Amino acid sequence: MHANDKLTIRALSEIDNLKIHGRTAAQKAPLTLFWTGSALEFNAKGSELWVEIEADYEQYEPWISILINSAQVSRQMVTAGRHWICVFRGMGADTVKNVRIVKDVQAVSGDPGHSLRVHAVKFDGEFLPVEEKPFKIEFIGDSITSGEGSIGAVAEADWIPMWFSALDNYTFKTAAALNADYRVLSQSGWGVLTSWDNNPRFNLPDYYEQVCGLLNGDKNESLGAKEAHDFSSWQPDAVVVNLGTNDNGAFHNPAWTDESTGRTRKQRLNEDGSFNEEDLGAFEAAVRGFLAKLRKNNPRAHIVWAYGMLGHSMMPAIYRAVDAYVKASGDRKVSVFQLPNMTDETVGARAHPGPLAHERTARELSGYLKSILS
Amino acid sequence: MHANDKLTIRALSEIDNLKIHGRTAAQKAPLTLFWTGSALEFNAKGSELWVEIEADYEQYEPWISILINSAQVSRQMVTAGRHWICVFRGMGADTVKNVRIVKDVQAVSGDPGHSLRVHAVKFDGEFLPVEEKPFKIEFIGDSITSGEGSIGAVAEADWIPMWFSALDNYTFKTAAALNADYRVLSQSGWGVLTSWDNNPRFNLPDYYEQVCGLLNGDKNESLGAKEAHDFSSWQPDAVVVNLGTNDNGAFHNPAWTDESTGRTRKQRLNEDGSFNEEDLGAFEAAVRGFLAKLRKNNPRAHIVWAYGMLGHSMMPAIYRAVDAYVKASGDRKVSVFQLPNMTDETVGARAHPGPLAHERTARELSGYLKSILS
Amino acid sequence: MHANDKLTIRALSEIDNLKIHGRTAAQKAPLTLFWTGSALEFNAKGSELWVEIEADYEQYEPWISILINSAQVSRQMVTAGRHWICVFRGMGADTVKNVRIVKDVQAVSGDPGHSLRVHAVKFDGEFLPVEEKPFKIEFIGDSITSGEGSIGAVAEADWIPMWFSALDNYTFKTAAALNADYRVLSQSGWGVLTSWDNNPRFNLPDYYEQVCGLLNGDKNESLGAKEAHDFSSWQPDAVVVNLGTNDNGAFHNPAWTDESTGRTRKQRLNEDGSFNEEDLGAFEAAVRGFLAKLRKNNPRAHIVWAYGMLGHSMMPAIYRAVDAYVKASGDRKVSVFQLPNMTDETVGARAHPGPLAHERTARELSGYLKSILS
Amino acid sequence: MHANDKLTIRALSEIDNLKIHGRTAAQKAPLTLFWTGSALEFNAKGSELWVEIEADYEQYEPWISILINSAQVSRQMVTAGRHWICVFRGMGADTVKNVRIVKDVQAVSGDPGHSLRVHAVKFDGEFLPVEEKPFKIEFIGDSITSGEGSIGAVAEADWIPMWFSALDNYTFKTAAALNADYRVLSQSGWGVLTSWDNNPRFNLPDYYEQVCGLLNGDKNESLGAKEAHDFSSWQPDAVVVNLGTNDNGAFHNPAWTDESTGRTRKQRLNEDGSFNEEDLGAFEAAVRGFLAKLRKNNPRAHIVWAYGMLGHSMMPAIYRAVDAYVKASGDRKVSVFQLPNMTDETVGARAHPGPLAHERTARELSGYLKSILS
């Protein structure tokens, strides 16, 4: 191999023209990418670029994807340890390459060891400034928003990182259609009030104000996951909340037992199959509460509750809750939008929306967001 | 990380139920994958699989793609050296995964150092037999068949391995539509008679009877590239030849000079822009000669000259040559098929056919092959 | 011309195996087709078929379309007077042709002269029974449901029957996807409470229990338009209500003046552009009232309020109203479904949804209806 | 009905700004439309337009389609006799409507009575000039070019005019894509040398120099069908010949017997299924002869032999013939283009190409024509 002796190593923290996508902690040397869709972006003028990435996990490994000039060229598992990964080589030294290195799997609350850190780059050129996009969008959701099942064969059933995609994902595609920067906060199985199996701790709102508070363990704490997020640093034009699918699941799944106290928790159905009114009320209260929290932290954002890719049973309750919130608060920049349901034609792996389902959702959702952002 | 202590290392040469795609040399420990689309295929029953791959190059590095149950899940550059690459982990131990690890870039005649070798696997399960497909197809071509430009942004201009794809490729898609095994022999810039720049040595027919004879250098020789290919080991039902595009280019590009002798070589145009008859005749003779060589080695295959994705100026000459060959030989299993031309809508990187162009070609070509193979 | 001397004329009323689509009056000799999508259906075994149709109007003429074996073969204006229209000729006498002759324009409340009547057929064969489809669907709507603008160039601006289509219409396509019989009640510009220009008399609910009560004039009365509809004769499995678009328009258009009393009527906006609460309440009351009327007359139908092809501003109010109705009545077979919004790509004539918009709506809506009907 | 008393009748021959598509005879009062795709075109500024059309036939009736501003709005059978057909009514009097009234079925050589004549219009406005398009294309073909089967259900088997379409047709769509005026000469079942059933009289070349010489009977003669066509009146930029499909059929069908002499005629296959060389030579001679005739009459046109929608068995012979013609004549503006084959997905009625097959052909062919016309 011809060695490229012009390559020099720089710590990520020393690079001025680096654009970081996704919430980060104070500690940036190394830089931890927590959420799916979190990314580094460079405008790199040079012929060869490497990035030093460190992965760790007990069970669920991270994956990354690489885009050059907006085209995906690579997707790979990052196994445990510290690796120099070559982003490109042999390219014309005088052209500027827009590069994005994207975390392609969600934050993993169930694996306290899971982490992805970027230490340094090795490059033979210079980094030019990366422009801000005209819009900023924040997406909050569950497995759908994590792109679970949007890659892989329909027959796949294992819950593993390989079947998650940040790019074959309505979030990425919606942002691209709007020419927007975006961030994602998402967790498979979680809801507004409880998880699909009635665990009341597995809800997104409780952790919304931390950098990535749903992560567990000392290591994640030391990486800054539990830090308070600085909302002033990135104010979105729109917040899209795609939650409710697992809250619906809770009504149809067994009770959750708190192992420390023995107490159980269950969203109940009536005998005739309808939702128990009290429990549905608790869900609606959670929606209202989350809206208030979102508004507090994002004073000028349009908030869109976007729901419906895996059925839309909770839609009446969501509308009721939004209605009640709007009435009580006078806040008028909140709306509800129904997403197109997955079909037999658009199903992906693990009975989740496949790439075509994400494509259709992005088409409808970006049309709607265009109408409210313009 | 939880180490998986059930993993055991086996040399590739010790695995019975391994299916190898693409021509190989006698030496299989390690196994060299020469051509684009060359691949290992396993039916792997187990939870975690790694493969040990060694890459080398002076300039142009190899890339691989991984398919699990026919869905592409990974694509990555393989940098110089010997690497353990994790194919999957954390999967259900009792289900069988069909795995293909595919060389995603062509054999590189211009880089004597370029090679991709597979040494071993690390696995915690057992390999089950992989079935033969009902059909076998061999594709012979140039950059189009190498998938040059079928990945990457339209603006890309560098000639680098990153922009080559074996999967966003009409060869892969045609074979999939026909449920066929397939092999590819291809080289960017090369033709039947000469390369795009009139080099008479850069023609596919001269190397057809070797394993991968267009490679250069001692190392490739030691890997077996120059060995005679054993045609009896794999007899295709169809041979698809997609050549002529660079032979056309030769008429429109400057002469080639043999540096050792100073002699020049040029396919000439007449003053009115038409092809010089003598030079066109040389092209036709090369087509006829290649057909004879193909027939000699593939006695029962349908031979299809499939041409036209980047213009079809050579089509009359191809028809003439095929006609003359058929008349002289009495061989009736030879035909010509025009492929759909690339358009502004379907262009990819480097002014080459993009994924949509390959998709359309696969649709037309597989329809045609179905009609002659059934 | 070779005359076909086997043709015999039969009054429509004498044909046993005639299937009539759409609400009809008691008087069936001749038979009046009132609504868009209303149709005659035959299974005709014979070589030549004519139908005698009589059209009348002061201003807006009727159009018909003809389908043979579910393929549209003809679409034509029917000018004033009584015409023998040839449906087919020269066909094999022994095959059975499924024939539908469809009214291709809505009932026209603004033209008391508009009517389409069928008197007789001329045929040389026999009519065989037409099977019932497994499902029955009733659609109630406005211009969208009338297919206004789903045929014709985008530039068209005249309000004329030529731009209305019963077939390039989500109603027809949804029913086809579900293999359902269907009926349509629709009127351009009308709403649940008022028309787009605040006329409180132009609402669908007031006329729901008559055959086609929104028609005016003595002639329509004599044709039976004002008769009470016999709901027992045709009980739908689903009622799809696509209303609200014009009720939203009323908020944004000038007041309507009752010319007889001088009184005005206006759905008001607040100064900040939001809906006046009292007026929005009146809309919601109208929705609730219509649901009660629909349920009274269709005891076993799923009622789906399907809305959103031209914006979805009324959605919160619709959800509120449905919610209130469900709570008050205990009726659980009522739901709301958001339709995909028209885009620049899918717009048709007169700034209304074009064929592609109807196609997308049919895809989403039929998916939803499948899930509740099965 | 409100009568429009501003309507005045004008003979077609008195209208200056009428654009006629398709070959016509000297006699233009009334005007006979002979070929499929032949049409009247107006730029009509007024509110109401009627056209007086006279149809005749022994067996096969004519059909027409109407386009307003390039959108098809009507398609109807024209039964025997003279009819006033309303093109539009009730439109804004001050806007200009581009109107095309198109013969939607081929000239019918098998029915000496078949004719379609236009006598007059009734209008309340003025006709403005219709611009010439930048290109002119002539299409010559068989049933494919006549649009046989491009409308109607796949199951249809009767040979009747209803299943022919001039608009769901690659000719119309190719011309539209190129913004070209176009003409069609076509006849189902006919070839370059013989018809599908070996009749040597049923070939297009013999009648190419007459207005519509393939028609029979005194009446057609009196209408001018046998007149010499004045080629100077309309010189195409491209002539597209889509013939060969029936010439191939002749090899696979029984001999034709000349009833007057008892002599038979048959394109023969060899015992091994290959084409008899002598008979194939006769086909090639016919191709060469037709090219010479086309060139004589169209000195500056690109001639494209475009073939392949229903198999491409004759392609080698076509290439050979074109090659021989080019060599002998030095004529360089002749080429061959392979059209995409019909598939199970794109089949229409009567086992002929359906609308999607015509769409794909138009896409490929217009791309090719663009490259040679620009």
A135-169 pLDDT, tens digit per residue, is 999 999 999 999 999 999 999 999 999 999 999 99
The answer to whether D61 faces chain C, any CB pair under 8 Å, is yes
B76 vs A76, A95, A349: nearest CB: A76
CA dihedral angle for residue D246, residue D247, residue D249, residue D252, rounded to 10 degrees: 170
| Pairing label, strands B302-307, B334-338 | parallel
Q: Tens of pLDDT along A77-136? A: 999 999 999 999 999 999 999 999 999 999 999 999 999 999 999 999 999 999 999 999
Contact partners, residue B307, CB within 8 Å, separation at least 6: B242, B243, B244, B245, B314, B315, B318, B336, B337, B338, B339
Residue B28, token pair as written in the block: 């299989």
The answer to whether B92 faces chain A, any CB pair under 8 Å, is yes
For chain A, what percent of residues have pLDDT higher than 70? 100
Render the burial of A257-273: b for 16+ CB within 10 Å, e for the rest. eeeeeeeebbbeeeeee
Check if the beta carbon of residue A229 is closer than 8 Å to that of residue A211: yes
Return the SS3 of A373: helix
Residue B105, token pair as written in the block: 């870039």
Q: Which of C237, C214, C240 is nearest to C226 (CA)?
A: C214
Give the pLDDT mean for D92-96: 97
Q: Distance between the two ends of chain D, CA-based, in angstroms?
A: 52
Whether residue D281 has pLDDT greater than 90: yes
Q: How confident is the model at residue A294 (pLDDT cuts 50, 70, 90)?
A: very high
Question: Which residue of chain B has the CA closest to A81?
Answer: B1
| Contact between C73 and D151 using a beta-carbon 8 Å cutoff | yes
Whether residue D29 has pLDDT greater than 80: yes
| Contact between C73 and D158 using a beta-carbon 8 Å cutoff | no
The answer to whether A152 faces chain B, any CB pair under 8 Å, is yes
Residue C369, token pair as written in the block: 């209806």
Q: Tens of pLDDT along A41-61? A: 999 999 999 999 999 999 999
Give the pLDDT mean for D102-119: 97
Of the CA atoms within 13 Å of residue D112, those in its CB half-sphere come to 7
How far does the CA of residue B352 sit from the closest CA of chain A (Å)?
A: 15
Query: With contacts defined as CB-CB under 8 Å, which chain B residues touch D281?
Result: none
Query: With contacts defined as CB-CB under 8 Å, which chain D residues touch B272?
Result: 332
Return the SS3 of B321: helix
The answer to whether C333 faces chain A, any CB pair under 8 Å, is no
Cα angle: A30, vertex A126, B79; to 5 degrees: 65
Q: Three-state secondary structure along chain D?
A: CCCCCCCEEEEHHHCCCCEEECCCCCCECCEECCCCCCEEEEEEECCCEEEEEEEECCCCCCEEEEEECCEEEEEEECCCEEEEEEEECCCCCCCEEEEEEEECCCCCCCCCCCEEEEEEEEECCEEECCCCCCEEEEEEECCCCCCECCCCCCCCCCCCHHHECCCCCHHHHHHHHHCEEEEEEECCCCECCCCCCCCCCCECHHHCCECCCCCCCHHHHHHCCCCECCHHHCCCCEEEEECCHHHHHHHCCCCEECCCCCCEECCCECCCCCECHHHHHHHHHHHHHHHHHHHHHCCCCEEEEEECECECCCHHHHHHHHHHHHHHHCCCCEEEEECCCCCCCCECHHHCECHHHHHHHHHHHHHHHHHHHC
Q: Which of B99, B184, B101 is nearest to B136 (CA)?
A: B184
Q: Which of D150, D163, D37, D42 is nearest to D102 (CA)?
A: D37
| Contact between D153 and C60 using a beta-carbon 8 Å cutoff | no
* Record: fold of B8-127: Jelly Rolls (2.60.120)
Give the pLDDT mean for D115-127: 98
Question: Which residue of chain B has the CA closest to A97?
Answer: B156
Q: What pLDDT does A3 receive?
A: 80
Check if the beta carbon of residue C241 is closer than 8 Å to that of residue C184: no
Q: Amino acid letter at B82?
A: R
The answer to whether B26 faces chain A, any CB pair under 8 Å, is no
Q: Which of A197, A175, A217, A165 is nearest to A56 (CA)?
A: A217
Q: Which chains touch D (3 or more CB pairs under 8 A)?
A: B, C
Please count the other Cβ atoms lying within 10 Å of the Cβ belonging to residue D230.
Answer: 11
Q: Tens of pLDDT along B237-273? A: 999 999 999 999 999 999 999 999 999 999 999 999 9
| Pairing label, strands D81-88, D49-56 | antiparallel
**Helix pair angle (C315-329, A315-329), 10° resolution:** 110
Contact partners, residue A30, CB within 8 Å, separation at least 6: A12, A54, A117, A118, A119, A120
CATH class assigned to D135-373: alpha beta
- The rounded distance, in Å, linking the Cα atoms of D288 and D304 is 13
Residue ranges in chain C modelled with pLDDT below 50: none
Whether residue D1 has pLDDT greater than 90: no
Q: What pLDDT does B374 receive?
A: 85
The answer to whether B337 faces chain D, any CB pair under 8 Å, is yes
The answer to whether A71 faces chain B, any CB pair under 8 Å, is yes
The answer to whether B79 faces chain A, any CB pair under 8 Å, is yes
Q: Tens of pLDDT along C78-136? A: 999 999 999 999 999 999 999 999 999 999 999 999 999 999 999 999 999 999 999 99
CATH architecture of C8-128: Sandwich (2.60)
C332 vs A274, A326, A343: nearest CB: A274
Q: Which chains touch A (3 or more CB pairs under 8 A)?
A: B, C
Of the CA atoms within 13 Å of residue B1, those in its CB half-sphere come to 17
Calculate the average pLDDT of chain D.
Answer: 97
For chain B, what percent of residues have pLDDT higher than 90? 98
> What does the domain layout of chain A look like in residue ranges?
8-126, 135-373
- The rounded distance, in Å, linking the Cα atoms of B336 and B312 is 12
Q: How confident is the model at residue B3 (pLDDT cuts 50, 70, 90)?
A: confident
Q: Three-state secondary structure along chain C?
A: CCCCCCCEEEEHHHCCCCEEECCCCCCECCEECCCCCCEEEEEEECCCEEEEEEEECCCCCCEEEEEECCEEEEEEECCCEEEEEEEECCCCCCCEEEEEEEECCCCCCCCCCCEEEEEEEEECCEEECCCCCCEEEEEEECCCCCCECCCCCCCCCCCCHHHECCCCCHHHHHHHHHCEEEEEEECCCCECCCCCCCCCCCECHHHCCECCCCCCCHHHHHHCCCCECCHHHCCCCEEEEECCHHHHHHHCCCCEECCCCCCEECCCECCCCCECHHHHHHHHHHHHHHHHHHHHHCCCCEEEEEECECECCCHHHHHHHHHHHHHHHCCCCEEEEECCCCCCCCECHHHCECHHHHHHHHHHHHHHHHHHHC
The answer to whether B329 faces chain D, any CB pair under 8 Å, is no
Contact exists between A and B (3 or more beta carbon pairs < 8 Å):
yes
| Pairing label, strands B39-45, B96-103 | antiparallel
ipTM: 0.97
- The rounded distance, in Å, linking the Cα atoms of A142 and A243 is 6
Q: What pLDDT does D301 receive?
A: 98
**How far lies A342's CA from each of A351, A357, C265, in Å?**
9, 6, 43
- In CATH, the number for domain A8-126 is 2.60.120.260
